[in-house]
Amino acid sequence: MPFSGKEEIEHISGLARIKLTSEEKSHYANELSSIIDFIGRLQEVDTSGVEPLYQVTGKENVMREDENPKILENLERDIILKQFPERKGDFNKVKEILIRKD
Amino acid sequence: MEVKDLTIEKVSNGLKMGEFSVEELQKATTAYAKSLNDLNAFISYFEPNNSLNRGNLFGVPIAIKDNILINGTVATAGSKILKNYISPYDATVIGKLKEAGAWFMGKTNLDEFAMGSSTENSAFGPTRHPLDRERVPGGSSGGSAVAVASGSAVCALGSDTGGSIRQPASFCGVVGLKPTYGRVSRHGLMAMASSFDQIGPITKNVKDSAILLSAISGKDRFDSTTADKEPEDFTKYLTGDIKGLKIGIPREFFGEGLDPLVADVIRKAIEKIQGLGAEVEEITLPHTEYAVPTYYVLVPSEVSANLARYDGIRFGYSEKEDSLLEVYNNSRADGFGHEVIRRIMLGTYTLSAGYFDAYYVKAMKVRNLIKRDYDQVFKKFDAVLGPTTPTTAFKLGEKSEDPLSMYLADIYTISANLAGLPAISIPCGNVDGLPVGLQITGKMFDEGDILNIAYAYEQNSK
């Protein structure tokens, strides 16, 4: 599978939400191209009839009672609020997510 | 009290016998660590604490890798994006160590978000090798390994996704243990690759490794991948008797790329273990050569998902921009370092439409084959031995421009993470004054055997 370089990098950096300069784009295009060649070696391996191994625990659907797990019982609320980049009272202020077009 | 020679046992005895007080110990430890500031092993130091629990680790100074959360303190993960981040809770391992009475002396340097094999990728500058300042200590838990090797900390916690505990332990001449996946809770460890990450101890000797593992392991309701195992005392396995244990030596671990001088040291160590009564035989792990490429599909894929949370919205570095999209794009571009961006990009690519089956699903199938290789071997053998790393500590800057050569520094350690197995690195000699590590890999949840083999070797090599 060929890696087409700068255009593909543009697409990926958009998906990853990382803005790259033009210089960085060519830099990562080169680096990723050699890494992608390297991982391409996996195509040599005969995996017919082999199931993918997602994780090694063998556990499936770990369940718990439908109750408040109290994961946050010791959480320091103030520490969390103070770290909002923009705060209004106890709310985290973010840029608008829907833009009206009229 | 000689700070640099302290072990957990010596601290406990010293305090019990009144040779020194907790206050004196804490002052002396911090002063000693700060006198070695040029190593850049620590990102932050903690104040003395005179209200420690009187548990079995009472007063023991422990250094903590800076991707593990301690309530109310800064946790950077070696990244600019979390430079001022304050943990709002304790990691499960931290809660357990507090219970046991340990004293956290400081947070240690690491490759950004634990991505790297040299600790050069930290936003806070590289950590240096304690025996040669021009060399790297390994990584990503380089700060923790150096804290212990230099004698600043009695012991430390690191995290291991592809060798990040064992490889720096090997380079620095200390003991590093990656537990079985699921043995230790990951709650409060900043996620890098969730199906691989494990927290583990870095210590001066094997007994301390067993003590620390006993303290931090166990099922945790906050990490549903932890195993249903009761906490146990791993020191009970340290009998030093390894007669009749069956040990396999994978021929793939002695191939191209292994420094012949390192190979000699490892062969001598294996002969010694054979001399102690273990039965040693050559084995094969045929898919070994595909471990690194498999890892560099699966880990970046998990990384690209796990690091999506650093978006400049709820915490961490955030750039003021006019639109939401620009906040994401610019905060992440300026907050992340080079290696982290490289892996996010790679993982985004391997998970993207059209490539998912060819890379991600294919790599999970090869992961299964690698695990089956080990399953096969462990039907007949109790442990697998070999080098931890192909070379001793390399020079600063030597591999930082070539990501692939850096990735190959973990060629022998990655398989244990792919298969979820426990593995320990112990010092077993030197090449040109630089330490060599022997890696012992065991069956799932058989930390007992590998700790005992390590202990037997250690006791007989003094």
Provide ipTM, 2 decimals. 0.93
- Residue A6's pLDDT band (boundaries 50, 70, 90)? confident
The answer to whether residue A30 sits within a structural domain is: yes
Which three-class secondary structure string do you get for chain B? CCHHHCCHHHHHHHHHCCCCCHHHHHHHHHHHHHHCHHHCCEEEECCCCCCCCCCCCCCCEEEEECCECCCCCECCCCCHHHCCCECCCCCHHHHHHHHHCCEEEEEECCCHHHCCCCCCCCCCCCCCECCECCECCCCCCHHHHHHHHCCCCCEEEEEECCCCCHHHHHHHCCEEEECCCCCECCCCECCCCCCCCEEEEEECCHHHHHHHHHHHECCECCECCCCCCCCCCHHHHCCCCCCCCEEEEEHHHHCCCCCHHHHHHHHHHHHHHHHCCCEEEEECCCCHHHHHHHHHHHHHHHHHHHHHHCCCCCCCCCCCCCCHHHHHHHHHHHHCCHHHHHHHHHHHHHHCCCCHHHHHHHHHHHHHHHHHHHHHHHCCCCEEEEECCCCCCCECCCCCCCHHHHHHHHCCCHHHHHHCCCEEEEEEEEECCEEEEEEEEECCCCHHHHHHHHHHHHHHCC
% of chain B residues with pLDDT over 90 = 96
Contact B206, B454 (CB under 8 A): yes
Q: Which residues of chain A have a CB within 8 Å of the CB of B224? A: 59, 62
Active site residues of B: 65, 140, 164
Output B151 or A3, whichever has higher pLDDT: B151
The predicted pLDDT at position A66 comes to 80
Report whether pLDDT(A3) > 90.
Answer: no
Q: Mark yes or no for CB contact B86/A79 under 8 Å.
A: yes
> How many domains is chain B partitioned into structurally?
1
Tell me the whole-structure pTM to 2 decimals. Answer: 0.97
Q: Rounded distance, CA A29 to CA A16, Å?
A: 15
3-state secondary structure of A92: strand
Q: Mark yes or no for CB contact A82/B86 under 8 Å.
A: yes
> Which residue out of A35, A38, A64 would a mutagenesis test of the B interface target, given it has the greatest number of B Cβ atoms within 10 Å?
A35
Q: Which residues of chain B have a CB within 8 Å of the CB of A53? A: 364-365, 367-368, 371
Chain B: residue whose CA lies nearest to A72: B89
Q: Mark yes or no for CB contact A39/B87 under 8 Å.
A: no
Domain of B71, CATH number, reads 3.90.1300.10
Report whether pLDDT(A5) > 90.
Answer: no
Chain A: residue whose CA lies nearest to B341: A18
**Min Cα separation B423/chain A (Å):** 15
Q: In which domain, by residue range, is A17 found?
A: 6-43
Report whether pLDDT(B387) > 60.
Answer: yes
Q: Which residues of chain B have a CB within 8 Å of the CB of A97? A: 324
The predicted pLDDT at position A101 comes to 80
Mean pLDDT of chain B: 97
Report whether pLDDT(A7) > 90.
Answer: no
The answer to whether residue A34 sits within a structural domain is: yes
- Residue B90's pLDDT band (boundaries 50, 70, 90)? very high
Confirm or reject contact between A85 and chain B (CB < 8 A).
yes
Confirm or reject contact between A10 and chain B (CB < 8 A).
no
- Residue A45's pLDDT band (boundaries 50, 70, 90)? very high
Domain of A29, CATH number, reads 1.10.20.60
Mean pLDDT to the nearest integer, B405-417: 94
Instruction: Tell me the residue type at A48.
Output: S
Q: Mark yes or no for CB contact A53/B368 under 8 Å.
A: yes
The answer to whether residue A100 sits within a structural domain is: no
Q: B140: cis peptide before it, omega within 30°?
A: yes
Chain A: residue whose CA lies nearest to B196: A55
The answer to whether residue A35 sits within a structural domain is: yes
Q: Which residues of chain A have a CB within 8 Å of the CB of B368? A: 50-53
Tell me how crowded residue B257 is: count the other CB atoms within 10 A of its CB.
Answer: 10
Chain A: residue whose CA lies nearest to B69: A75
Chain A: residue whose CA lies nearest to B332: A18
The answer to whether residue B329 sits within a structural domain is: no
> How many domains is chain A partitioned into structurally?
1
Q: Which residues of chain A have a CB within 8 Å of the CB of B308? A: 17
Q: Mark yes or no for CB contact B366/A12 under 8 Å.
A: no
- Residue B39's pLDDT band (boundaries 50, 70, 90)? very high
The predicted pLDDT at position B65 comes to 98
The answer to whether residue A17 sits within a structural domain is: yes
Confirm or reject contact between A31 and chain B (CB < 8 A).
yes
Q: Which residues of chain B have a CB within 8 Å of the CB of A55? A: 181, 195, 225, 420
Mean pLDDT to the nearest integer, B279-286: 98
CB-closest option in A53, A62, A69 to B364: A53
The answer to whether residue B401 sits within a structural domain is: no
The answer to whether residue A1 sits within a structural domain is: no
- Residue A76's pLDDT band (boundaries 50, 70, 90)? confident
The predicted pLDDT at position A77 comes to 84
Report whether pLDDT(A1) > 60.
Answer: no
The answer to whether residue A48 sits within a structural domain is: no
Mean pLDDT to the nearest integer, B281-286: 98
Q: Which residues of chain B have a CB within 8 Å of the CB of A87? A: none
Q: Mark yes or no for CB contact A18/B332 under 8 Å.
A: yes
Report whether pLDDT(A2) > 60.
Answer: no
**Min Cα separation A11/chain B (Å):** 9
Q: Which of A3-12, A56-65, B412-421: highest mean pLDDT?
A: B412-421
The predicted pLDDT at position B230 comes to 86
Mean pLDDT to the nearest integer, B274-278: 98
pLDDT tens digit sequence for B430-444: 999 999 999 999 999
Chain B: residue whose CA lies nearest to A55: B195
CB-closest option in A1, A39, A83 to B293: A39
Report whether pLDDT(B337) > 70.
Answer: yes
Q: In which domain, by residue range, is B163 found?
A: 3-238
Q: Mark yes or no for CB contact B368/A51 under 8 Å.
A: yes
The answer to whether residue B191 sits within a structural domain is: yes
- DSSP state, A80? H
